[in-house]
Amino acid sequence: MILGIGLAMTAGVLLFGTRIVNYRLGSQLGSAGGSFANHWIGAVLGGLLLLVLQVPFLASPEPIAWYAWMGGPIGAAFVIICNLTMGSVSVMISTTLIFIGQVSMSILLDLTLTGHAISPKQLLGAAMIFLGILYNQKAQQLKERSA
């Protein structure tokens, strides 16, 4: 379990580290161009990794559902959206908004796909994060108006 927690935290750090890098690339190549370059380089490096590690590709004995292939397009859309928004909101605000989106989607997926119950404490925690962002945005707007 500790390894899983550590890996998940590392993934979170990498996710938001890549947002800055992708934003810089997108500012030079445009949002869609930056996303394309990001995914093209990732595909090449991923392919090389498969070759080096001798991992069979498409070796599943089971048919692969159509929606399992949607990770690439969803990832590309994520990069484009992040590239478009990074210049207009702070990293902290965009990170928190992305987190709210992830929490909202995880609640929806838990309810519809896994059947896991969502506790009132979890819903309250999600609502508190959302309200904190709204409060922060309002405070920032008031600060900018008074300056």
- 53-109 per-position pLDDT tens digit: 887 776 677 887 888 889 888 888 888 888 888 778 777 778 878 888 888 888 888
DSSP string, 2-17: HHHHHHHHHHHHHHHH
Stated pTM of the model? 0.68
8 A C-beta contact, residue 118 and residue 89:
no
Q: Which of 122, 133, 125, 124 is nearest to 94 (CA)?
A: 133
Number of domains in the chain: 1
Instruction: Classify residue 25 as left (phi > 0), alpha (psi -120 to 50) or beta.
Output: alpha
Structure tokens at 99: 């987190």
Domain span holding position 24: 2-146
The burial of 35, by beta-carbon neighbours within 10 Å (0-12 exposed, 13-18 middle, 19 or more buried), is given as: buried
